[in-house]
Structure 1
Amino acid sequence: MVAVLTSTEAVRDGSLFGLRPRLWLMTFGHLVIDSNPALLFALVPVIVAHLRIDFAQAGALVTVLLMTSSITQPLFGLLQDRRPAFPTASLGLLVAGSAMAATGFATTFAQMVALVIVAGLGVAAFHPQAVAQAARASAGRKEWGIAVFFTGGSTGTGIMSLAIVPLAAAFGPGATLVALVPAVVAAALFARATSISSTSIPAMTGASTMTSSVRAVGFPLSMLLSVSILRSAVLTAYLAFLPALATYRSGSLAVGGAALAAFLFAGSAGALLGGAAAHVYGSSRVVTASLVTGMLALLPVPWLPASLLVPWMFVAGILFFASEAQVTALAQRLLPAFVGIASSLMMGVGLGIGNVGAFVAGAVADLRGIPFALASITLVLAPAIAASLAYAVSMRKLRA
């Protein structure tokens, strides 16, 4: 780890840990944008009681939010590659923050659905431009730079998971207004930074060129997409129902928020660990190892006593999240001229399709309970492991 942090190529003065200031700004924006969904994740038990909905509907809300925020990302990725100066990241921060701030005032399920759709579009608008700029700011250390960028997302979700519970207890549902503050600050910083940097980035043109590039790496890219989809199915199920599992087991909403926060903060550590390991062993090996160890760590979670949930989820999170950034880094290497599209396929389409995991887990939980639902969805990581191995084999054949 020390070697990775200190062995840096020449970068401009003012770098931190060998990484450019722009990368840290993108990471801060990622922290802010991904703090928004935590307002929904952490308050699922409250929402179920307040709106008088069942677990399937609660899972549907999470699915709608994450589906909208991900499946539409390729559209914004195409816009980023062709119009890099357009401030999609800044606008996304404002739209997502405003919509999630308003969720505390929703009184019907329909209102909540409308708000999470708007918020999801804001989140989708942010990611392609931010991750493309993060990749460029990483210079020749993309594995590490993208890993740092990803830590912002899980850290932001973890911080909000911890913060919103006491705020909601003190101020009621209107505490969701807190989402506006970081959104406005980050949007202002991004608007200025993006306008300065994007003027020097050439716009990509030629749909045929993009299509031919994708076709040339079709199989390995599809395997990475499969990993992203299956991994996301497990992730969204835990994001939606881990707080509820911990809350009902312990009788405390705070324990539910703490378990989710531990999982997400560990995600930040896992992303950094994955980036460091990828620098030494390669991203492909890190992805496979993370999927195997993550599945083994998550399988016993539904039956653990409440006292063990928080520390166990921290360890499981490190193992599970080590692969997240590396899947995107591998996709960017396959499509170096279209990093916006590559990133949005993994972070967008992959997450979007995988988001059905929350809905499926909710439906199963209504029939068999949350523990059975989470254990069942965790087994989806098995075919993800197979896909990661197929990717590795296909890349060896391409290089031969």
Structure 2
Amino acid sequence: MPTNHLASSAPPRAPRTGPLTLLSLGHACVDIYQGAVAALVPFFVAERAYTYAAASGIVLAAALLSSVVQPLFGALTDRWTMPWLLPVSTVLGGTGVALAGIMHSYPLTLLVVALSGIGVAAYHPEAARVARRASRGSHTAMGWFSLGGNLGFAAAPLMVSAVVATGGLHASPLLVVPALAGAALCLAALRSATLSSPPANTAGSAGRAGTDDWPSFLRLTGAIVCRSVVFVGLSTFISLYVRQRTGGDQVSGTAALFVLYLGGAVGTVAGGRLARRFGRVAVARWSYALSVPAVAGVVYVPGPLLYLCVALTSAGLYVPFSLHVTLGQDYLPRRVGTASGVTLGLAVSVGGIASPLVGTLADATTLQTGLAPLIVLPALGWLLLRRLQEPVQLETAPPLRHSAARG
């Protein structure tokens, strides 16, 4: 199996905490809109009487175009630095969601949500490239960058509930506020010239970057897709499902979605720390294995214990989240933008493509039956990771060239 020989005796440089903090906060503002789409689903069902399939189609709209254009943006950021994408894509992501509640037809709702998905897709490859440089290749530091996105996910149901439960779907334009704040944070982070432009000593860096290990990267991507289908399927329907299983109200469903997202914050931080001790691949492999009984608990455990299963599922799905990103970058050292676009974007959003299948099955049977197939997917992810080897880390490598990378 190919490996990336980048050993160096020089100590790794410390992460640049100032820009990285701003980038993490900006990441939170962007990923609010990934979480907001699922958080809006119960309100579309209640106010517009959408079926499960129609409601999950909204999630599909956000994911489909995002999935298609994500590799394109990754390839572009491998060739050219495009720091302007960060604030522009943040605003686009927020504007689409903000307009979703005031579109009076289903096709127009799909259109604006799809535009939001494009904004999210455009953000992640370039943001991951910039964060990689700010983190100096530290997996723990990249974990903090990923944590920002997870906190945005966690804040989404609270924000949507506070705005839409109070003013109805017609109040959705207020949801653009985090996007404006995120754009300002991105601009502040990019004021550092070393983050927004290529490093000066890039001559020949592509040649020193090592060999792209596509077989390992594709196995990793397959595992991430399995995780994505589980996560998006649960996030789309968990609010409705918990209300059915517990006999609770809208607050109980929102609380379950919040737990699903917030557990990711704990899991992401834990993942970086565990990886330093046991290795990224081993931690990811065990996380997928432990997610199998946790997801089964979400589907079948009744009553308040359901919330505990949601929390365990969230932790299991999120422990390897930031590890996916750095593993992908290390498997494709010559195409860091492409690797970031796939691991942080495409393979995450592609789960939305499967959500209408869950909705269609739920319409034909029950919501519990629709969610049951999700149990086997973490096991499939574990099988894909079973023979994956740890790549050589890029922490001590010279800065990567992103303005004219060649493959």
TM-score w.r.t. the length of structure 2 is: 0.86
Give the aligned partner of residue 321 of structure 2.
324
Cα distance in 2 for partners of 1:170, 1:81 equals 44
Query: Is 1:277 equivalent to 2:274 in the alignment?
Result: yes
Any conservation in 2 of the 1:300–1:375 contact (CA below 8 Å)?
no
Cα shift at 1:135: 1.2
Give the aligned partner of residue 295 of structure 1.
292
Counting matched residue pairs gives 377
1:262–1:377 distance in 2 versus 1, CA, 3 Å: same
Runs of 4+ that moved beyond 6 A: 202-206
Give the aligned partner of residue 7 of structure 2.
none
1:85–1:59 distance in 2 versus 1, CA, 3 Å: closer
Any conservation in 2 of the 1:151–1:271 contact (CA below 8 Å)?
yes
The one-letter amino acid of 2:229's match is: A
Cα shift at 1:391: 1.8
The one-letter amino acid of 2:252's match is: V
3-state SS of the aligned residue for 2:190? helix
Any conservation in 2 of the 1:32–1:153 contact (CA below 8 Å)?
yes
Cα shift at 1:237: 0.4
Comparing 221-230 with 367-376, which one deviates more in the overlay? 367-376
Give the aligned partner of residue 354 of structure 1.
351
Query: Is 1:60 equivalent to 2:82 in the alignment?
Result: no
Give the aligned partner of residue 397 of structure 2.
none
Cα shift at 1:154: 1.7
Query: Is 1:255 equivalent to 2:271 in the alignment?
Result: no
Give percent identity, aligned residues only: 26
Residue 24 of structure 1: which of 14, 21, 24 is its match? 21
3-state SS of the aligned residue for 2:304? helix
CA RMSD of aligned residues (A): 2.5
1:233–1:204 distance in 2 versus 1, CA, 3 Å: farther
Residue 79 of structure 1: which of 76, 79, 85 is its match? 76
Any conservation in 2 of the 1:82–1:204 contact (CA below 8 Å)?
no
Any conservation in 1 of the 2:297–2:306 contact (CA below 8 Å)?
no
Give the aligned partner of residue 389 of structure 1.
386
Query: Is 1:111 equivalent to 2:108 in the alignment?
Result: yes
After superposition, the C-alpha distances for 1:49-108 in whole angstroms (9 at most, x for unaligned) are 333321112112112212323331121122222221441111000111111111111222
Cα shift at 1:369: 1.2
TM-score w.r.t. the length of structure 1 is: 0.87
Query: Is 1:35 equivalent to 2:36 in the alignment?
Result: no
Comparing 167-176 with 288-297, which one deviates more in the overlay? 167-176
The one-letter amino acid of 1:242's match is: I
Query: Is 1:225 equivalent to 2:212 in the alignment?
Result: no
Any conservation in 1 of the 2:34–2:120 contact (CA below 8 Å)?
no
Give the aligned partner of residue 399 of structure 2.
none
Comparing 89-98 with 18-27, which one deviates more in the overlay? 18-27
Residue 194 of structure 1: which of 190, 199, 207 is its match? 190
Give the aligned partner of residue 129 of structure 2.
132
Any conservation in 2 of the 1:297–1:316 contact (CA below 8 Å)?
yes
Cα distance in 2 for partners of 1:19, 1:315 equals 32
- Equivalences for residues 367-378 of structure 1 within 5 A: 367-378=364-375
Any conservation in 2 of the 1:85–1:194 contact (CA below 8 Å)?
no
After superposition, the C-alpha distances for 1:213-268 in whole angstroms (9 at most, x for unaligned) are 77x41211110111111111111101111111012333311111110111111101
Give the aligned partner of residue 152 of structure 1.
148
Cα distance in 1 for partners of 2:106, 2:152 equals 26
The one-letter amino acid of 2:197's match is: T
After superposition, the C-alpha distances for 1:187-237 in whole angstroms (9 at most, x for unaligned) are 12313432533124469999xx89x977x4121111011111111111110
Residue 242 of structure 1: which of 238, 241, 244 is its match? 238
1:205–1:69 distance in 2 versus 1, CA, 3 Å: farther
1:311–1:352 distance in 2 versus 1, CA, 3 Å: closer
The one-letter amino acid of 1:364's match is: L
Gaps of 5+ in 2: 1-10, 393-407
Any conservation in 1 of the 2:92–2:119 contact (CA below 8 Å)?
yes
Any conservation in 2 of the 1:65–1:120 contact (CA below 8 Å)?
yes
Higher helix share: 1
Comparing 110-119 with 363-372, which one deviates more in the overlay? 363-372
Cα distance in 1 for partners of 2:55, 2:291 equals 25
Give the aligned partner of residue 3 of structure 1.
none
The one-letter amino acid of 1:20's match is: T
Cα shift at 1:284: 0.3
Cα distance in 2 for partners of 1:244, 1:225 equals 30
3-state SS of the aligned residue for 2:389? helix
Cα distance in 1 for partners of 2:299, 2:32 equals 25
Q: Which one scores higher on RCO, CA 8 angstroms, separation ≥ 6?
A: 2
